[in-house]
Structure 1
Amino acid sequence: MLSHGIILGWFSLMYVFLASDDTPLDEKLTVQHGSWIGSILGMGGLTTNLIMGYPLDYFGRKPVMYFLVIPHATHWILIYFGTNVIYLYVARFLAGVAAGGGVVVFPIFVAEIADTNIRGSLGSAIFLAISAGLLVGYICASFIAYKVLPCVALVLPTIYIISIIFLPETPIFLLRAGKTEKAEKSYYFYKGLSAEDPESKKEFKEFLDELLADSAVEKITTKDFCNREAWKAFGLVIVLLFTHQMSGNFAILTYATTIFEHLNSKLDLHLCTIILGVAQLLGMIIALFLVDRMGRRILMLSSLAGMVLGELIIAGLKYFASSEFLKEQGWFGLATMCFTSFFSSIGVASVTVVIIVEILPIKLISVCTSISIAILNIFIFITLKIYPEMIAEYGLGPTMIMTAVSCIFSAIILGLFLPETKNKHLA
């Protein structure tokens, strides 16, 4: 996920470079090219998500985690050899395939191995890694040549493969596959327990009994989807997915350089984007420490409130501030963007998927998380496709008002119906 974050941050700055006369491609990018390159990431993720539930439940979490390296590494290879926009389309599509798989399998993997008191922090750490990658991507785009970064970036998936080789499969998947003995060993490994200790065996027996009581290791049937509890969870999931993208959370980071250009600041665009990345990373770090202390609900609602304020201020700058003010007081636009990104990170960006995994019925967690992230990628495609076109056609002000209204709508619905899932037992 760190490596994927680098892809996202790198493109945000490279988009401006590739659209300039200095582009290394056969032709410089247009706004249409940029919108497709940005949005096709979501289509790649959608493709993976539509089929991810089956391999997760049939092959397990580990094989899927190995698979992610192939499309991710191929992305960088295509960037290195690419000479026209078609290479970028395919590369971004494959990056979406890898990310779409990662955003499904990693939260499930973490939820199934982590203690309840640290599950939120570990789940948020996945998105902290993306944020750190975004910042690294901004820096790399500023200081590393276009053709050099792909060679450097391929080191990360290599480290990733080596790092996960010795991790066992999750105990819940192994139990569902009928491999009770391996599940017991896996449980002891992730809980840090000794197989020789009678208390360890007693704890595993309690864990197994809880799963059996919830029918979590039985086969999924149609009835599992058609009940009040499931439909309530599905409704909240849809609102959370809508919130994650239509709030502007991801689009603002993806098109940060374009937004800074529209704010007419005299400050260096690369420096502004790097500072924005720092603010976003700071928000993620704070979320990591607060998610298991304050809970998911309050972080989500606080995040939306901060985003509404920040986006309305940005819109106000475009409507009411003069060009001279924007140029001379460029720090104000930068500070507002950082404020918005910071509040986005402490809730919307960091805990949305954590909440989704926790409110879904445990028996349906693989299939429904896969479907949920598929829907998320549809929203990603829509927002990344229309965002640059809206800014170009209608201006930054109306675009920011649109995302602020989405935040207000989501805050009302989630404020009324979203339960707190801190310390909830998945079994």
Structure 2
Amino acid sequence: MSDGGTSIFDLQYRKQLKAMLAIHLISIGYGVTVGWTAPIIPLLRSSATPLPAGPISVEQASWVGSCLCIGGMTGTILFALIHTYFGKKVGLLLLAVPHLILWTLLWVGDNVYYIYVARVMSGLTGGGICSILPLFVADIADKKIRGTLGSLTILHINFGILASYTLGNYLSYYTIPKVMLSFPVAFLVLVSLLPETPYCLLRKGKIAEAEQSLMFYRNVPDADHKTLAFEYEFESLKAFTAAESSKEGLTLADFKTPAAIRGLSIGIFVMALNQFSGIFAILTYAGTILLYSGTSVEPKYVLIMLALINIGGNLTSFAIIDIAGRKIFLLISTVGVGVSLGILGLHSFFSDPNDVIMAEYSWVPALCLCLTIYTAALGITNVPFFLLPEILPPKLRSIGSTISMVLLCFFAFIMVKAFPILLENVQIHGTVWISSGVCAFAALIIVLLVPETKGKNLIVDEDKTAGKARTNVY
């Protein structure tokens, strides 16, 4: 749902929803690669490893997790250049290439180096998803449902994580790649049927095609069904694109304006929160954390429960974020993650396998992880990605998103590379208390500095009376 009881399932939004379902096939596939490590790393480190060379070390496990982030930094920049110069549809289609390569490598590979390269390929796809999908949503979505459609990206990634946590426990190591190769193929077929976004077509001077594209995404069947609202939106989009085209190229001065400094600072902050809250590292090493925690609940069942709860949190956010707003969800999420990880740390600190009383609370780690994942899914894991286009000045929206996404991948690399080493050296309590402290500090920043952007119109109209550009907020 969205503002005023509007639903994404309303007829007028049908084409937008279908487009989202098509492009998010690649998000599901990427989610599988994100969750793949949780059940697979414990397998690779055990005596039952499928690799002929034997079990991998802690250091190798940290590289298996973090190589994805190296690919993410590269993919963010690469796909930002592709969609800028060739359009978002071309960028979307090319997302399938590294995804096809990674599953092929995991299928044929027989040592850890194949896995490293495959994880880099996964990161390329993930970086492209972060670079293109939020802007694609901003281009085609009606402002009334933009937040809801923006939530779909992380929701589908989490569907992939659920599939990975489930399949990883029940399918053999070499069977998973065979199944997953079908996803990028289906993605290529469906996305090829979508029109380029109206904004990209207008930038190329293709006005008639841009109008047809907007008609497609607004579910306007023909010229006879165009409404005044549609005409106004298209004229506003043309004026906005013309104004953008007439502007000079980016200069250093563009980054020194108060709006630019504020937007980029908030963008970097929410991306740092997204990673240093520990959520991505926890999802990557959930199986290892459960083994170390000594929980009485069977880890494979906890993994499935975590994935389901993750989706539940996303669905909660998905249903009402366009009503409640971005800021409140981000704040609730940050506080919830901080408290949950703090309790997990306390249990780990006082845990003693020989203590009969503490043994009665061996279910606490599983509960804390479930609460952590649920509250993170309310805001930390999804709000930053569609908040970015809403807080950045129009001229800096593309480059600002790219900068923030590259930093996101860099932050992720630090966390994912360090996490298993921290688990070995400062144990669970020390590791999660670091993230809990980050959340406590971040909550204060959110209250004081992060603005609410619900309902903000991303099109800048020309105010002919004042002779100035203005952003309308409805």
Give the TM-score normalised by the residue count of structure 1: 0.96
Distance 1:390 1:285, change over 3 A: same
Q: Which structure is richer in relative contact order (CA contacts within 8 A, separation 6 or more)?
A: 1
Is 1:383 the counterpart of 2:422? The answer is no
CA offset digits 1:40-89 (Å, max 9, x no partner): 11100101223333221110001111111110111111111111111110
Cα distance in 1 for partners of 2:71, 2:358 equals 38
Q: Is the 8 A contact 2:76 2:402 kept in 1?
A: yes
Provide closer, same or farther for how the CA distance between residues 305 and 206 of structure 1 changes in structure 2, counting only shifts above 3 A: same
Structure 1 counterpart of 2:367: 335
In the alignment, which residue of structure 2 is the partner of 1:195? 223
Q: CA RMSD, aligned part only?
A: 1.6
Partner of 1:256: 286
CA contact (8 A) 1:306 1:343 kept: yes
3-state DSSP class of the match of 1:29?
A: coil
Q: What's the CA shift for 1:386?
A: 0.5
TM-score (normalizing by structure 2): 0.87
Offset from partner CA, 1:327-347 (integer Å, 9 cap, x none):
543322211110111001100
Q: Does 1:221 align with 2:250?
A: yes
Contact 1:282–1:342 (8 Å) recurs in 2: yes
| Structure 1 residue 166: Cα displacement | 1.4
Deviations 1:1-41 (A, max 9, x none): 11111112122110000101111112211110111110111
Q: CA deviation at 1:326?
A: 5.6
Q: Which residue is 1:400 aligned to? A: 432
Counterpart residue number, 1:265: 295
CA 221–313 in structure 1, closer or farther in 2 if over 3 Å, else same: same
CA contact (8 A) 1:297 1:419 kept: yes
Whole-Å separation in 1 of the counterparts to 2:202 and 2:247: 10
Which sits farther off after the overlay, 129-138 or 314-323? Answer: 314-323
- The Cα of 1:239 is off from its aligned counterpart by 0.7
Please say if residues 263 and 326 of structure 1, whose CA atoms lie closer than 8 Å, have aligned partners that are also in contact: no
Structure 2 residue corresponding to 1:301, chosen from 316, 327, 331: 331
Structure 2 stretches lacking a partner, 5+ long: 1-26, 460-474
Partners of 1:179 and 1:207 lie apart in 2 by: 13
2:205 corresponds in structure 1 to: 178
* Counterparts in 2 of 1:357 and 1:217: CA distance versus 1, 3 Å: farther
Q: What residue is the counterpart of 2:36 in the other structure? A: 10
Work out whether residues 296 and 420 of structure 1, in 8 Å CA contact, stay in contact via their aligned partners in 2.
yes
CA contact 1:263–1:318 (8 Å) conserved in 2: yes
Q: Could you say which residue in structure 1 is the equivalent of 2:185? A: 158
Query: Which one-letter code corresponds to 1:226 in the other structure?
Result: K
Q: CA deviation at 1:231?
A: 1.1
Q: Encode CA deviations 1:268-290: one digit per residue, 9 max, x unaligned.
A: 11111111111111101111012
- Check if 1:40 corresponds to 2:72: no
Percent same amino acid among aligned pairs? 33
**Distance in structure 1 (CA, Å) of the matches to 2:246 and 2:143:** 19
**1:20 aligned partner:** 46
Question: C-alpha distance in 2, partners of 1:326/1:38?
Answer: 32
Per mean C-alpha deviation after superposition, the further-off stretch among 34-43 and 407-416 is: 407-416
**CA distance in structure 2 between the partners assigned to 1:172 and 1:327 by the alignment:** 60
In the TM superposition, residue 220 of structure 1 has moved relative to its aligned partner by: 3.2
Q: Could you say which residue in structure 2 is the equivalent of 1:322?
A: 352
1:407 counterpart letter in structure 2: C
Q: 1:389 to 1:325 in 2, by over 3 A?
A: farther
Within the candidate set 396, 408, 415, 1:364 is matched to 396
Assess if the C-alpha contact under 8 Å between 1:284 and 1:345 holds in 2.
yes
Compared CA separation, residues 147 and 90, structure 1 to 2 (3 A) = same
Contact 1:265 1:326 in 2 (8 A): no
Q: Is the Cα–Cα contact under 8 Å of residues 78 and 128 in structure 2 kept in the other structure?
A: no
Q: Distance in 2 between matches of 1:330 and 1:281?
A: 25
Give, in whole Å, the separation in 1 of the partners of 2:306 and 2:34.
14
